[in-house]
Amino acid sequence: MTVAPLTPDERAALLPALAGWEPAAGRDAIAKRFVFADFIAAFGFMARVALAAEKADHHPEWSNIYNVVDVVLTTHDAGGISHRDVAMARTLDLLAATG
Amino acid sequence: MTVAPLTPDERAALLPALAGWEPAAGRDAIAKRFVFADFIAAFGFMARVALAAEKADHHPEWSNIYNVVDVVLTTHDAGGISHRDVAMARTLDLLAATG
Strand order in the sheet with B68-73: A22-23, A30-35, A68-73, A61-65, B61-65, B68-73, B30-35, B22-23
Q: What distance in Å separates the CA atoms of residue A41 and residue B81, rounded to the nearest whole number?
A: 26
B65 touches chain A (CB under 8 A): yes
Does the pLDDT at position B99 exceed 80? no
- Stretches where chain A sits below pLDDT 70 are 1, 99
Q: What distance in Å separates the CA atoms of residue A71 and residue A85, rounded to the nearest whole number?
A: 11
Q: Residues B10-27: pLDDT tens digits?
A: 999 999 999 999 999 999
How big is chain B, counted in residues?
Answer: 99
The shortest C-alpha distance from B64 to chain A (Å) reads 6
CA dist A78 → A21, A75, A81, A84, A85 (Å): 19, 5, 7, 10, 10
- Residue B67 is predicted with a pLDDT of 98
CA dist B65 → A41, A63, A70, B90 (Å): 21, 9, 12, 22
Is the pTM value of this prediction over 0.90? yes
Q: Residues B32-71: pLDDT tens digits?
A: 999 999 999 999 999 999 999 999 999 999 999 999 999 9
- Residue B98 is predicted with a pLDDT of 87
**Residue A33 DSSP label:** E
- Residue A1 is predicted with a pLDDT of 60
In CATH, the architecture of B8-97 is: 2-Layer Sandwich (3.30)
- Residue B1 is predicted with a pLDDT of 60
- Residue A2 is predicted with a pLDDT of 79
Q: Residues A20-44: pLDDT tens digits?
A: 999 999 999 999 999 999 999 999 9
Q: Which residues of A touch B61 (CB under 8 A)?
A: 63-65
With H, G, I as helix, E, B as strand and everything else as coil, classify residue A99.
Answer: coil
HEC assignment per residue over A46-87:
HHHHHHHHHHHCCCCEEEEECCEEEEEECEHHHCECEHHHHH
- Residue A49 is predicted with a pLDDT of 98
- Residue B82 is predicted with a pLDDT of 98
- Residue A7 is predicted with a pLDDT of 97
Does the pLDDT at position B7 exceed 70? yes
Contact B61 A62 (CB under 8 A): no
Cβ B92 vs Cβ B71: under 8 Å: yes
Q: What distance in Å separates the CA atoms of residue B22 and residue B52, rounded to the nearest whole number?
A: 21
Q: Which residues of A touch B33 (CB under 8 A)?
A: none
